[in-house]
């Protein structure tokens, strides 16, 4: 049976990661969350004090980037991969509001993107992979056999994100989360380096009005049609 590359792009908190992870597990593919990689770089910078307000110490980050080890290890308990930064499990830390607030700034840096894209291309070269992000179908794997672009209204995405954060005990409000969702959309789609955009050959899924089982079935059907 032929193995393919599945590129899942879309807006933040559109639920694409949940769909992508579940599909990968069902079909026995490797799942790579590229957002987690940009989040790990952001966490690293915050810890090192390389981010002050909206200013980033680019030279310091550039010097450290080569030695930064970002990897994923399968967690048998959750059935999903955890993100590791230089050997430390940071899955929880990279999902904080503090990281979410700064990640788009880090992801807008060309030298960071080039380093991450190179890692991602290496991870996917054997195929049999589901990769989720913003530029997978456009930049990382423009020849992916299946490309999906997932979106939902900002309000729906903010509500989903708020539930996630509250479940984790983060103190935040709907207004704050909605502002963060919109701010990330804006930065992600207007940045100079590979802005978030739909690949011309991507299948678009607006899941504002869909349940998770409906989305999963839709994606599974697209996969069956592609192989």
- Residues making up the annotated binding site for ATP are 10-18
Distances (CA, A) of 93 to 85, 113, 163: 11, 21, 17
Site string for ligand C5P, 150-179 (x = CB under 6 A): ------------------------------
Convert 27-50 to b/e letters by CB count within 10 Å (16 or more is b).
Answer: bebbbbbbbbbbbbbbbbbbeeeb
Q: Which of 43, 107, 146, 150 binds ligand C5P (CB under 6 A)?
A: 107
Based on the shown chain and the rule CB under 6 A, indicate whether residue 80 belongs to the binding site for ligand C5P.
Answer: no
Which letter does DSSP use for residue 195 in this model?
-
Q: Which of 134, 147, 157, 161 binds ligand C5P (CB under 6 A)?
A: 134
Site string for ligand C5P, 186-205 (x = CB under 6 A): --x-----------------
Query: Which residue, 54 or 224, has its beta carbon nearer to ligand C5P?
Result: 54
206 - beta bridge partners? 151
83 three-state secondary structure: strand
Q: Which of 184, 205, 219, 223 binds ligand C5P (CB under 6 A)?
A: 184
Query: Which residue, 4 or 106, has its beta carbon nearer to ligand C5P?
Result: 106
Q: Which of 31, 45, 9 is nearest to 189 (CA)?
A: 9
Residue 78, judged by CB atoms within 10 A of its CB (0-12, 13-18, 19+), counts as exposed
Chain residues that interact with ligand C5P, rule: CB under 6 A: 12, 34-35, 38-39, 103-104, 107, 133-135, 184, 188
């Amino acid at each position: 049976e032929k193995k393919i590359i599945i590129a899942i792009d879309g807006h933040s908190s559109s639920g694409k990661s949940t769909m992508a992870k579940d599909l990968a597990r069902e079909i026995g593919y490797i799942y790579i969350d590229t957002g987690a990689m940009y989040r790990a770089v952001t966490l690293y910078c915050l810890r090192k004090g390389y981010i002050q307000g909206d200013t980033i110490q680019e030279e310091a980050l550039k010097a450290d980037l080569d030695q930064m080890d970002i990897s994923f290890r399968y967690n048998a308990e959750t059935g999903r991969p955890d993100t590791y930064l230089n050997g430390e499990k940071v899955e929880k830390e990279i999902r904080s509001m503090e990281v979410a607030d700064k990640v788009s700034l880090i992801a807008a840096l060309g030298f960071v993107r080039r380093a991450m894209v190179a890692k991602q291309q290496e991870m996917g070269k054997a195929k049999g992979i589901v990769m989720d992000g913003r530029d997978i179908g456009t930049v990382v794997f423009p020849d992916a056999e299946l490309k999906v672009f997932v979106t939902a209204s900002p309000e729906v995405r903010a509500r989903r994100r708020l539930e996630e954060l509250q479940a984790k005990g983060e103190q935040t409000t709907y207004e704050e989360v909605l502002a963060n969702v919109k701010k990330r959309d804006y930065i992600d789609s207007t940045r100079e380096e590979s802005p978030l955009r739909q690949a011309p050959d991507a299948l678009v899924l607006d899941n504002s009005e869909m349940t998770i089982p409906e989305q999963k079935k839709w994606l599974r059907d697209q996969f069956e049609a592609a192989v």
